[in-house]
């Protein structure tokens, strides 16, 4: 039976998201059927903490979906 695993991260920290997905893939023993994702057009609002001076753009949300079957 197909199952779904969803991962969410930020565009500004793709390395951590990639590591999380790869670690899950390696440890799960899952048989992968499909991997797809989406990048949000824009996330959040500008505040003093994430000002244009500190960051040239707001990091968007990244969603990765893995369709798989559980490993034996």
Which sequence spans correspond to the domains of the chain? 3-69
Q: How would residue 10 be classed by pLDDT, with cut points 50, 70 and 90?
A: confident
Task: Taking residues 53-66, report their average pLDDT.
Answer: 77
Q: How would residue 8 be classed by pLDDT, with cut points 50, 70 and 90?
A: very high
**SS3 for the chain, per residue?**
CCEEEEEEEEHHHHHHHHHHHHHHHHHHCCEEEEEEEEECCCCCCCCCCCCCCCCCCCCCEEEEEEEEECCC
Name the residue with tokens 């969803």.
6
Task: Taking residues 57-62, report their average pLDDT.
Answer: 78
Whether the CB-CB separation of 67 and 2 falls below 8 Å is answered with yes
């Amino acid at each position: 039976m197909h199952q779904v695993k969803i991962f969410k991260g930020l565009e500004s920290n793709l390395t951590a998201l990639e590591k999380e997905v790869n670690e899950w893939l390696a440890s799960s023993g899952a048989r992968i059927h499909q991997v797809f994702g989406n990048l949000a057009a824009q996330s959040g609002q500008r505040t003093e903490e994430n000002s244009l001076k500190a960051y040239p753009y707001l990091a968007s949300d990244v969603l990765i979906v893995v369709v798989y079957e559980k490993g034996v």
